[in-house]
């Protein structure tokens, strides 16, 4: 979002500009309306105010600029030469203001259009948001879309962001946060890894396994979260592979390289295809979400409202948070001495 820069000027000049605008605005509006309508009475009807108020505004403007703008008699009102000159100078500015107002009205009442700047985490943005943006653009071709994939918490005003997708927990009370779906986290492995090394049955067993970790934008490793006896417990397992993107972590799991804790939207397809199994479901956290965030519900542009409604409906229809889990825990026959897994 760009900042407005005004030409540098002295404090006295700035004060004069402010006082001049505040004093003359009503007079200019009244003057332009009288000039267009040809009479003070019709101008008053057009503006929805009394004739005397229109007359006072024009008189005050005439006093400010030191020139008579209308010749007024009991029978007619005509514009002076000075008035014609002032009208020609004022009219382009008034037209631009009216055009600006009309454009704002069109943004609110016409079809959605304009630029929409969107921020999303790499994983959710690439897997869920980006494909749906193509469908949104097909429905609303007048809306230009810009998608930025980043893990950091964006600042809406400074970064010029209209919509942000966020994962996990939200504690920013300054934004509107709409939960799209719960964010289900699953510890997963490939069936080959499970056959070879078994699966952890408790949080303490995780240390005995090869783990694939993710590094966050702030440089620290992402915790694995579990809910035990109603309390969230963070785990930082030793990892022999570290990546900074959940899709890369998923690739490592599918390559039989170890365990990872990943959100359901990343795993849904692989779980349905039997390419992954899950474990530790009894202590999986259940208090996270995928959120769609924006600054305010007031005077929401149509392009933002259309995008919010579209994404909410489409993402919920994907049902990414209730995938059918392919957990081997209930059917594993495990040798306590070796923790090797014997499949039926």
Rounded average pLDDT over 51-65: 88
Domain identity same for 141 and 201: no
Query: What is the average pLDDT across 240-259?
Result: 93
CB contact at 8 A, 280 and 224: no
Lowest mean pLDDT among 24-28, 275-279, 305-309: 24-28
Measure the CA–CA gap between 188 and 278, rounded to whole angstroms.
4
Same domain, 133 and 193: no
For the segment 263-290, what is each residue's pLDDT rounded down to a tens digit? 988 888 898 889 999 999 999 988 888 9
Report yes or no: 61 and 28 within 8 Å, Cβ to Cβ. Answer: yes
Regarding whether 245 and 173 lie in a shared domain, the answer is no
What mean pLDDT do residues 38-65 have?
88
> What's the pLDDT at 22?
52
Q: Considering the entire predicted model, what is its pTM?
A: 0.64
Same domain, 67 and 168: no
**Domain of residue 164, CATH code:** 3.40.190.10
pLDDT at 307: 95
- Does residue 1 have a pLDDT over 50? no
Q: Are residues 247 and 302 in the same domain?
A: no
Give the residue carrying structure tokens 């996270």. Answer: 288
Looking at residue 43, what is its pLDDT?
87
Domain end call among 61, 81, 109: 109
Does residue 230 contact residue 87 with C-beta atoms inside 8 Å? Answer: no
Work out the pLDDT band at 8, boundaries 50, 70, 90: very low
Domain count, the chain: 3
Q: Which two tokens stand for residue 253?
A: 């799991």
> In which band, very low, low, confident or very high, does the pLDDT at 171 lie, cut at 50, 70 and 90?
low
User: pLDDT tens, 219-231?
Assistant: 889 999 999 988 9
Q: Please indicate, yes or no, if residue 41 is contained in any of the structural domains.
A: yes
Query: Based on the domain organization, do 119 and 174 belong to the same domain?
Result: yes
Task: Provide the token pair at 171.
Answer: 């504690």
Residue 73 has pLDDT above 70, yes or no: yes
Looking at the structure, tell me whether residues 249 and 336 fall in a common domain. yes
Q: Could you read off the pLDDT of 178-203 as tens digits, one per residue? A: 999 888 899 999 999 999 999 999 99
Q: Which domain holds residue 229?
A: 185-287+323-342
């Amino acid at each position: 979002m760009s900042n407005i820069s005004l030409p540098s000027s002295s404090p006295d000049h700035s004060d004069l500009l402010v006082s001049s605008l505040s004093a003359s605005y009503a007079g200019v509006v009244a003057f332009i309306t009288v000039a267009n309508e040809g009479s003070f009475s019709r101008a008053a009807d057009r503006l929805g105010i009394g004739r005397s108020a229109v007359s006072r505004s024009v008189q005050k403007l005439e006093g400010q600029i030191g020139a008579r703008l209308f010749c007024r008699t009991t029978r007619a009102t005509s514009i002076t030469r000075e008035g014609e000159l002032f009208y020609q100078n004022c009219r382009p500015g008034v037209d631009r203001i009216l055009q600006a107002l009309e454009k704002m009205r069109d943004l609110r009442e016409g079809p959605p259009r304009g630029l929409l700047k969107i921020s999303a985490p790499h994983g959710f943005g690439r897997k869920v948001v980006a494909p749906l943006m193509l469908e949104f653009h097909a429905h609303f071709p007048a809306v230009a879309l810009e998608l930025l994939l980043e893990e950091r918490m964006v600042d809406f005003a400074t970064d010029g962001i209209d919509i942000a997708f966020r994962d996990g927990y939200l504690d920013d009370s300054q934004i509107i946060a709409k939960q799209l779906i719960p964010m289900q986290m699953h510890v997963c492995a490939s069936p080959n890894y499970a056959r070879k090394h078994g699966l952890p049955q408790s949080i303490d067993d995780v240390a005995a396994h090869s783990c694939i970790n993710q590094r966050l934008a702030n440089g620290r490793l992402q915790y694995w979260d579990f809910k035990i006896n109603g309390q969230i417990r963070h785990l930082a397992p030793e990892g022999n592979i570290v990546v900074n993107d959940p899709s890369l972590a998923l690739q490592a799991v599918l390559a039989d390289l170890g365990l990872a804790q990943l959100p359901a939207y990343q795993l849904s397809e692989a779980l349905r295809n039997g390419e992954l199994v899950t474990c530790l479901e009894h202590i999986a956290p259940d208090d996270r979400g995928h959120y769609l965030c924006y600054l305010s519900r007031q005077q929401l542009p149509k392009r933002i409202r259309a995008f919010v409604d579209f994404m909410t409906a489409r993402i919920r229809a994907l049902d990414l948070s209730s995938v059918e889990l392919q957990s081997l825990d209930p059917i594993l026959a495990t040798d306590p001495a070796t923790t090797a897994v014997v499949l039926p």
